[in-house]
Amino acid sequence: MTLKEVQSDRNERDLASDAAVEWFVRLKAGDGSNELRGEFAEWLAASEHHKTAFDELLVLWDGLALAKDLPFSEIAVKRVAVKRFEGRRRFWFPATIAASLMLVVALLFAPSGTTYESEHGKITPLDLADGSHVHLNTSSRIEVDLSEQERSVRLLTGQAFFKVAKDLNRSFVVHTAHGDVRAIGTAFEVNTLNDQLEVTVTEGVVEVQTPLGKHHRAAAGRQVRVTDEQISEQGVDALAETAWREGRLVYDGVPLEQLIGDLNRYLPRRMTVVDDQLARTPVSAVLQLEDQELMLQALSLSLPLRWQSVSDNLILILAEKPG
């Protein structure tokens, strides 16, 4: 084979390996429908590289045990048995899919639980079976799994407040994409907005762990932030930070543009500040989540602003005209 042909063959193998991982996830998570089976059969038959890649993946993942749970188990078990019997073939899985394989571990073998979510503009209280209480902020979603060994919550998106019931035999851990939070008899908020982890403690102590294994403990009245594996801590008014549970939003010297952006998470009509100087104006306010125009009226008492509805979905915030 020429160098060009060797490179082309290697590229096909790499693509097949990546696709095999994707199919593995789909088939494990799927409903075993005829449509899914048919799509998989077509992909498998399209290339010898596909068959080899999937066989090697099954062997790598202790295929005989896993294959029995898959919708194509009879074929898969025979293939894996043959591969194990041969026992001498070299694996050519490229290193570039190592991260994908780790993702498969997380997706397929993590405990599956019950999913809860809140709608846009809604704050949703929940009572968990262990006696813990949760408040989901607007547009947030969690997955809860209460096993005999651990009480596990995955914050999939958004912001949530947890008041944890004491249980000496089972820890309570909130998992996020940016790190984990372990409760130590406590109440705390976890926020994953702005592509970071922010933890505000109102009672007790929490332990925060980054994806790289750094640990940090924080007590009531403290807020921990994890960004790019860096951990910082500061003192805050924890009750004000978590007042959204009661339908109140508390702001202390934040730019109006930031305040309006936060309100847009809750209110039905989007607002935008069209004056740069007004947008940078610092605002301190306590606002009740209620009628949108009443909130604007409250802001206009301390700021030189006016607003204009330009559609059913958009309100412009403008600087008040002098005179």
Q: Where are the domains of the chain?
A: 3-109, 114-239, 247-319
Most confident range (mean pLDDT) of 8-12, 31-35, 50-54, 270-274 is 270-274
β-bridge mates for residue 231, sequence order:
226
Q: CA-to-CA distance for 294 and 300, rounded, in angstroms?
A: 10
pLDDT attached to residue 165:
94
pLDDT attached to residue 49:
82
**Higher local confidence (pLDDT), 36 or 199:** 199
Ramachandran assignment for 121, one of left (phi > 0), alpha (psi -120 to 50 degrees), beta (any other): left
pLDDT attached to residue 46:
86
Q: Is the pLDDT of residue 88 over 60?
A: no
- Looking only at the bridges linking them, the beta strands covering 159-163 and 179-191 are antiparallel
Q: Which helix (H) or strand (E) holds 145?
A: strand 141-146
Average pLDDT over every residue of 306-310: 90
pLDDT attached to residue 4:
54
Q: CA-to-CA distance for 256 and 168, rounded, in angstroms?
A: 45
Assign domain 114-239 one CATH number from 3.30.465.10, 2.40.50.220, 2.60.120.1440, 3.40.109.40. 2.60.120.1440
Whether the full predicted model's pTM is greater than 0.85, yes or no, is no
β-bridge mates for residue 255, sequence order:
282
Q: Is the pLDDT of residue 271 over 70?
A: yes
**pLDDT by residue (tens digit) across 93-119?**
444 444 444 444 444 444 457 899 999
pLDDT attached to residue 211:
84
In the chain, the amino acid numbered 57 is: L
Q: Read off the tokens for 113.
A: 């639980």
Long-range contacts of range 57-61, CB-CB < 8 Å, 24 or more positions apart? Answer: 57/17, 57/20, 57/21, 57/24, 57/93, 58/83, 59/83, 59/84, 59/91, 60/91, 60/93, 60/101, 61/24, 61/104
Q: How far is CA 20 from the centre of its chain?
A: 25
| Pick from 164, 192, 163, 189: nearest CA to 176 | 192
Q: Is the pLDDT of residue 297 over 60?
A: yes
Percent of the chain with pLDDT over 70: 75
pLDDT attached to residue 76:
41
Q: How far is CA 276 from CA 244, 269, 293, 320, in A?
A: 28, 21, 22, 13
pLDDT attached to residue 248:
92
pLDDT attached to residue 2:
62
pLDDT attached to residue 15:
81
**Higher local confidence (pLDDT), 40 or 147:** 147
Query: Is the domain covering 247-319 a CATH 3.55.50.30 domain?
Result: yes
Q: CA-to-CA distance for 307 and 274, rounded, in angstroms?
A: 10
In 3-state terms, what secondary structure has residue 278? Answer: helix
Residue in this structure with the two tokens 């030189």, named with its chain if needed: 304
Residue in this structure with the two tokens 């980054």, named with its chain if needed: 210
Print burial letters for 23-44: b (CB count within 10 Å at least 16), e (below 16).
bbeebeebeeeeebeeebeebb
Q: CA-to-CA distance for 313 and 159, rounded, in angstroms?
A: 24
Q: Is the pLDDT of residue 64 over 50?
A: no
**pLDDT by residue (tens digit) across 44-53?**
888 888 888 7
Q: How far is CA 174 from CA 125, 163, 171, 178, 207, in A?
A: 17, 12, 10, 11, 10
